[in-house]
Amino acid sequence: MAADRGPWSPDSWQERPAAQQPDWPDRAALDAVLSTLSGYPPLVFAGEARQLTDDLARVAAGEAFLLQAGDCAESFETFSANSIRERLKVILQMAVVLTYSAGVPTVKVGRIAGQFAKPRSSGTETVDGRSLPSFRGHMVNDVEFTEDARRPDPSRLIEAYHQSAATLNLLRAFTKGGFADLSRVHLWTQEFVRSSPEARRYESLADEIDRALRFMRATGIDPVDQPTLHEVDFYTSHEALVLGYESALTREDSLTGDHYDCSAHILWIGERTRGIDDAHVEFFRGIANPIGCKLGPQATVDETLALCEVLDPDRTPGRLTLITRMGADRIAEHLPPLVEAVGAAGHPVVWACDPMHANTFTSPSGRKTRHFDEILRELRTFFEVHRSLGSWPGGVHVELTGDDVTECLGGAEALADHELDLRYETMCDPRLNGRQSLDLAFGVAELLRG
Ligand code: PEP
Ligand code: CO
């Protein structure tokens, strides 16, 4: 019970074991960076986080759908207006497909503007008998296999902050300044996608939207007067893994007196850091943002209920999103007891499916990959389970990029193992490319239509 835990503060997590934290070599340098960050302006505002909680409450009530998507790990190296725009385009396209072919409003959340820290299954990596600290994301160290690159460097926390700020600034400009206008729906297709069957399917949907806008105009409803046709609400998210960074960006809201982690609108707890008595859960229980928690196939009913009780003691609609990542083979067995127990305990959670993280394998060519069919299979079972239990399959959480990468197998283009090497660019997990993402959106829209 939350009440048994004693008082919360942005630093109360420090009394508990924190998994997956970098082994910072210079404590004084880290403290100096954290003190600098704690004086920096917030990246998001409390009011925006509250608005997202309201939007997610509609998802929890079965009136909207959550699309959470973006990089596995953002990079300091591929930071450019282009890369931000391409990622936004593909998410906007997917949202259009979901909204217009399934008729359900879509809440759009990027894994972007802060997704710089990675949990690792092992603290060290060994190559040719030589062991170095694992790569933990650009907020911590670099991916290159040298002692220098792998040494955790706290000045990277500052760089992560500035890159997040610049990314968020551009996202706000794009989504509020005309780029996301529905009359531009045709312009969101990437060049390399343009000639594909998915793009043709998307184009015919975009034509229908054009017709609808013309119809509105003809009947005297001027689309110019409808802000929702010109702007979108686009929210940011990341795994709040490095707790020093997150607590340094936590601010008390002057309006409500509540604390918000102002590094992103919604934060989530990863599968490896959700220990009920551990530091991450302690930190998350006190922040007023909407929050997520990953649940893998090992998550028990008792663990899940305990997490719900600590993270959502007031049973607030939209407060908690449970992101299940069970694997295509295991979801049918493991998801139903959790859905039933959480429902019976009265937590109005959003159920989202991450069909990526438990369907990862090493292909014969030696690449870490995922197959499009398995991703869609986990999603299909996710919808079936929720439909059979009378709960709402509320959202999807995926790793993607707008670029023409070759990291996941299959999809309409039937990407094969021997093609993975062509443009395998991820620093961490394999992402869907622009075509596969669009393809997936059409698949999910079909599931939504039921
Ligand atoms: C992730 O979302 O990139 C991730 C590491 O997921 P999980 O915690 O579910 O393994
Ligand atoms: Co990942």
**Distance from C-alpha of 398 to C-alpha of 401, rounded to nearest angstrom:** 10
**Distance from C-alpha of 260 to C-alpha of 372, rounded to nearest angstrom:** 37
| Bridging pattern class, strands 361-362 and 368-369 | antiparallel
Judge if 212 and 318 occupy the same domain.
no
Q: If you take atom 3 of ligand 1, which residue's CA is the nearest one?
A: 72
Whole-model pTM: value is 0.96
Identify the nearest ligand to the CA of 399 by its number. Answer: 2
CA 270 to ligand 1 center in whole angstroms: 5
**Distance from C-alpha of 266 to C-alpha of 52, rounded to nearest angstrom:** 8
Judge if 386 and 419 occupy the same domain.
yes
266 within 8 A of 321, measured Cβ to Cβ: yes
Judge if 80 and 130 occupy the same domain.
yes
Residue pLDDT tens, the chain, 450 long: 445 789 999 999 999 999 999 999 999 999 999 999 999 999 999 999 999 999 999 999 999 999 999 999 999 999 999 999 999 999 999 999 999 888 899 999 999 999 999 999 999 999 999 999 999 999 999 999 999 999 999 999 999 999 999 999 999 999 998 888 888 888 888 777 788 888 888 888 888 888 888 888 889 888 778 888 888 999 999 999 999 999 999 999 999 999 999 999 999 999 999 999 999 999 999 999 999 999 999 999 999 999 999 999 999 999 999 999 999 999 999 999 999 999 999 999 999 999 999 999 999 999 999 999 999 999 999 999 999 999 999 999 999 998 899 999 999 889 999 999 999 999 999 999 999 999 999 999 999 998
CA 73 to ligand 2 center in whole angstroms: 7
Terminal C-alpha separation, the chain = 38
Judge if 167 and 264 occupy the same domain.
yes
Judge if 61 and 150 occupy the same domain.
yes
Judge if 301 and 350 occupy the same domain.
yes
Judge if 199 and 298 occupy the same domain.
no
72 ligand 1 Cβ < 6 A: yes
**Distance from C-alpha of 275 to C-alpha of 270, rounded to nearest angstrom:** 10
Q: Which residues of 248-267 are buried (b: 16+ CB within 10 A; e: fewer)?
A: bbbbebeeeeebbbbbbbbb
Judge if 216 and 82 occupy the same domain.
no
In sign, the C-alpha dihedral spanning 7, 13, 15, 16 is: positive
In sign, the C-alpha dihedral spanning 154, 155, 160, 162 is: positive
**Distance from C-alpha of 230 to C-alpha of 226, rounded to nearest angstrom:** 7
Number of domains the chain contains: 2
11: CATH: 3.20.20.70
Judge if 436 and 327 occupy the same domain.
yes
Which of helix, strand or coil describes residue 204? helix
Judge if 258 and 147 occupy the same domain.
yes
Judge if 53 and 144 occupy the same domain.
yes
Could you tell me the residue range of the domain that residue 163 belongs to?
Answer: 2-172+235-449
111 ligand 1 Cβ < 6 A: no
* DSSP bridge pairs for 108: 67, 234
338 within 8 A of 306, measured Cβ to Cβ: no
Cα torsion through 192, 197, 198, 199, rounded to 10: 50
Judge if 321 and 430 occupy the same domain.
yes
